[in-house]
Chain A
Amino acid sequence: MVASAVFPFIAGGAAHGTKLPVGAVTLSDLTASPRFGLKGGGSAAWLTAHGISLPAVNRIGAHHGMRILRLGNEDILLLAEGAGEALAELKAGWANDTGPKGYSSWREEGWAWMRLSGRHAPQAMERLCALDLRADEFGVDDIAQTRVGHIEAVTFRSQAGFDVLFDVTASAYFARTTAAEAMYCIDLPIDTEGHI
Chain B
Amino acid sequence: MNRLPGPWGSRIDRSRPIPFTFEGKHFEGYAGDSIASALAASGQWVLSRSFKYHRPRGILSMTGADANTLVQLPFEPNVAADRTPISEGLSVSAQNVNGTLERDRDAIIDRLGRFLPVGFYYRTFMGPRRDSWLKFWEPMIRRKAGLGVVDTTAPRRHFDKTHLHCDILVVGAGPAGLNAAIAAAEAGADVVLCDENPEIGGSLTYGRHDPALLADLSSRLRALPNLRLLTGTVCNGWYEDNWLPLIQGDRLFRTRARAVILATGSIEQPAIFRNNDLPGIMLGGAAQRLIRHYGVRPGQKAVVLATGDEGYCVALDLVEAGVSVVLVADPRSGGETGTFEAALRGSGVAIRKAATIEAAEGSVGNRHLSRVRVGGSWIECDLLAVSADQVPAWQLPCQAGAKVGYDAVSGSMTLSLPKAPIHLAGSVAGDSNLQDAITGGHRAAVAALLGLGHAVGEERISTRPTAGSPARVLPIVAHRKGRDFVDFDEDLQVKDLQNAVKEGYREIELVKRFSTVGMGPSQGRHSALATARIVAEATNRTVAEVGITTARPPVGPETLGVLAGHHEPLERRTALHARHLALNAVMKPVGAWWRPYVYGEASEAEEAIRDEIMAVREGVGLLDVSTLGKLELRGPDAGAFLDRLYTMAHANQPVGRVRYCLMLNEMGSVVDDGVACRMAEDRFYVTATTGAVARVYADMLFWNAQWRLRVDVLNLTGAFSGLNVTGPKARAVLEALESDIDFGREAFPYLSGREGVVAGVPVRVMRIGFTGELSYELHCPSSLAPALWDAVMTAGKTYGLKPYGLEASRTLRLEKGHILIGQDTDAITTPDELGFGWAVSKKKPFFVGKRSIEMRARLGQARKLVGLRFPADARDIPGESCLVLRGNAPVGQITSIGFSPTLGCTIALAYVHIDDSTEGSLVTVKCRNGNLVDVPVVAHAFFDPANARQEM
Q: Given A3, A129, A130, A194, which contacts B788 in the complex, CB threshold below 8 Å?
A: A3
A3-B784, A168-B782 in contact; A184/B573 too (CB < 8 A)?
no
Contact B719 A168 (CB under 8 A): yes
Q: Given B164, B199, B579, B683, which contacts A196 in the complex, CB threshold below 8 Å?
A: B199
Query: B140: which A residues are within 8 A, CB to CB?
Result: none
Contact B161 A127 (CB under 8 A): yes
Contact A3 B224 (CB under 8 A): no
A160 within 8 A of B: no
A168-B718, A169-B573 in contact; A41/B221 too (CB < 8 A)?
no
Contact B165 A132 (CB under 8 A): yes
CB of B788, distance to nearest CB on chain A (Å): 7
Contact B190 A134 (CB under 8 A): yes
A74-B712, A194-B222 in contact; A6/B201 too (CB < 8 A)?
no
Contact A3 B254 (CB under 8 A): no
Q: Given B568, B577, B635, which contacts A14 in the complex, CB threshold below 8 Å?
A: B577
Question: Please, how many angstroms separate the alpha-carbon atoms of A13 and B569 in the complex?
Answer: 20
Question: Please, how many angstroms separate the alpha-carbon atoms of A8 and B567 in the complex?
Answer: 22
Query: A196: which B residues are within 8 A, CB to CB?
Result: 199-201, 214-215, 218
Q: Given A1, A136, A137, which contacts B738 in the complex, CB threshold below 8 Å?
A: A1
- Write out, one digit per residue, whether chain A residues 4-41 have a CB within 8 A of any chain B CB (1) or not (0): 11111000111110000000000000000000000111
A14-B578, A194-B199 in contact; A189/B251 too (CB < 8 A)?
yes
Contact A192 B760 (CB under 8 A): no
A3-B759, A168-B719 in contact; A40/B635 too (CB < 8 A)?
yes
Contact B158 A7 (CB under 8 A): no
A40-B712, A193-B229, A194-B199 in contact; A150/B570 too (CB < 8 A)?
yes
A64 within 8 A of B: no
B6 within 8 A of A: no
A126 within 8 A of B: yes
A103-B634, A151-B570 in contact; A127/B198 too (CB < 8 A)?
no
Q: Given A2, A6, A41, A134, which contacts B575 in the complex, CB threshold below 8 Å?
A: A6
B736 within 8 A of A: no
Contact A16 B634 (CB under 8 A): no
Q: SS class of chain B's interface: helix, strand, loop or mixed?
A: mixed
- Write out, one digit per residue, whether chain A residues 75-106 have a CB within 8 A of any chain B CB (1) or not (0): 00000000000000000000000000001011
Q: Given B165, B573, B577, which contacts A137 in the complex, CB threshold below 8 Å?
A: B165
Contact B787 A4 (CB under 8 A): yes
- B778-812 contacts to A, CB under 8 A, are 781-788, 791
B725 within 8 A of A: no
A170-B571, A173-B568 in contact; A126/B164 too (CB < 8 A)?
yes
Q: Given B225, B683, B783, which contacts A109 in the complex, CB threshold below 8 Å?
A: B783
Contact B230 A190 (CB under 8 A): yes
Question: Please, how many angstroms separate the alpha-carbon atoms of A3 and B780 in the complex?
Answer: 12
Query: A14: which B residues are within 8 A, CB to CB?
Result: 573-578
Contact A171 B573 (CB under 8 A): yes
A191 within 8 A of B: yes
A4-B787, A40-B634, A41-B712 in contact; A194/B221 too (CB < 8 A)?
yes
- Write out, one digit per residue, whether chain B residues 189-208 have a CB within 8 A of any chain A CB (1) or not (0): 01010000011110000000
Q: How many residues of A contact B (CB 8 A)?
A: 57
A3-B761, A5-B784 in contact; A176/B163 too (CB < 8 A)?
no
Query: A177: which B residues are within 8 A, CB to CB?
Result: 566, 568
B517 within 8 A of A: no
Query: A130: which B residues are within 8 A, CB to CB?
Result: 163, 254, 256
Q: How many residues of B contact A (CB 8 A)?
A: 72
CB of A188, distance to nearest CB on chain B (Å): 10
Number of A-B contacts (CB under 8 A): 170
B632 within 8 A of A: yes
Question: Please, how many angstroms separate the alpha-carbon atoms of A173 and B719 in the complex?
Answer: 17
Question: Please, how many angstroms separate the alpha-carbon atoms of A127 and B567 in the complex?
Answer: 13
Query: A195: which B residues are within 8 A, CB to CB?
Result: 198-199, 231
Contact A194 B231 (CB under 8 A): yes
A39-B714, A150-B566 in contact; A173/B224 too (CB < 8 A)?
no
A12-B578, A14-B577, A192-B225 in contact; A6/B787 too (CB < 8 A)?
yes
Query: A150: which B residues are within 8 A, CB to CB?
Result: 566, 570
- Smallest CB-CB separation from A195: which chain B residue? B199
Contact B712 A13 (CB under 8 A): no
Query: A15: which B residues are within 8 A, CB to CB?
Result: 573, 577
Contact B572 A192 (CB under 8 A): no
A45 within 8 A of B: no
CB of A74, distance to nearest CB on chain B (Å): 7
Query: A74: which B residues are within 8 A, CB to CB?
Result: 712
CB of B428, distance to nearest CB on chain A (Å): 21
Contact B570 A3 (CB under 8 A): no
Query: A134: which B residues are within 8 A, CB to CB?
Result: 165, 190
- Smallest CB-CB separation from A72: which chain B residue? B712
Contact A5 B161 (CB under 8 A): no
Question: Please, how many angstroms separate the alpha-carbon atoms of A12 and B222 in the complex?
Answer: 53
Question: Please, how many angstroms separate the alpha-carbon atoms of A15 and B576 in the complex?
Answer: 10
Contact B718 A110 (CB under 8 A): yes
Contact A106 B163 (CB under 8 A): no
Q: SS class of chain A's interface: helix, strand, loop or mixed?
A: loop
- Smallest CB-CB separation from B738: which chain A residue? A1
B349 within 8 A of A: no
A40-B635, A109-B781, A109-B782 in contact; A16/B578 too (CB < 8 A)?
yes
Q: Given A41, A132, A184, which contacts B160 in the complex, CB threshold below 8 Å?
A: A184
- Smallest CB-CB separation from B761: which chain A residue? A3
Q: Given A1, A40, A108, A129, which contacts B760 in the complex, CB threshold below 8 Å?
A: A1
B720 within 8 A of A: yes
Contact A190 B228 (CB under 8 A): yes
Contact B781 A106 (CB under 8 A): yes
Query: B567: which A residues are within 8 A, CB to CB?
Result: 180
B15 within 8 A of A: no
Query: B720: which A residues are within 8 A, CB to CB?
Result: 106, 109
Query: A109: which B residues are within 8 A, CB to CB?
Result: 716, 718-720, 781-783
Query: A193: which B residues are within 8 A, CB to CB?
Result: 222, 229
Question: Please, how many angstroms separate the alpha-carbon atoms of A150 and B720 in the complex?
Answer: 23
- B313-364 contacts to A, CB under 8 A, are none
Count chain A CB atoms within 10 A of each CB in B162, B635, B760 and give the residue with the most: B162
A74-B712, A167-B718, A189-B162 in contact; A173/B570 too (CB < 8 A)?
yes
B842 within 8 A of A: no
- B557-587 contacts to A, CB under 8 A, are 566-579
- Smallest CB-CB separation from B228: which chain A residue? A190
A140 within 8 A of B: no
B278 within 8 A of A: no
- A139-196 contacts to B, CB under 8 A, are 150-151, 167-173, 176-177, 180, 184, 189-196
CB of A133, distance to nearest CB on chain B (Å): 8
A5-B783, A14-B577 in contact; A126/B199 too (CB < 8 A)?
no
- Write out, one digit per residue, whether chain A residues 102-118 have a CB within 8 A of any chain B CB (1) or not (0): 01011111110000000
B14 within 8 A of A: no
Query: B143: which A residues are within 8 A, CB to CB?
Result: none
A169-B574, A180-B567 in contact; A194/B200 too (CB < 8 A)?
yes
- Smallest CB-CB separation from A2: which chain B residue? B760
Query: A133: which B residues are within 8 A, CB to CB?
Result: 165
Contact B719 A106 (CB under 8 A): yes
A3-B761, A192-B228 in contact; A123/B199 too (CB < 8 A)?
no
B814 within 8 A of A: no
- Smallest CB-CB separation from B694: which chain A residue? A152
Question: Please, how many angstroms separate the alpha-carbon atoms of A194 and B576 in the complex?
Answer: 53
User: Residues on B close to A: CB < 8 A?
Assistant: 158, 160-165, 190, 192, 198-201, 214-215, 218, 221-222, 224-225, 227-231, 248, 251, 253-254, 256, 566-579, 592-593, 632, 634-635, 683, 710, 712, 714-720, 738, 759-761, 781-788, 791
Known: A14-B576, A131-B163, A168-B718. 11 other contacts (CB 8 A): A12-B579, A14-B573, A40-B635, A110-B716, A111-B718, A134-B190, A167-B572, A170-B570, A172-B571, A195-B231, A196-B199
The list of the 6 closest CB pairs from A to B, nearest first, reads: A40-B712, A110-B719, A3-B787, A5-B783, A14-B577, A1-B760
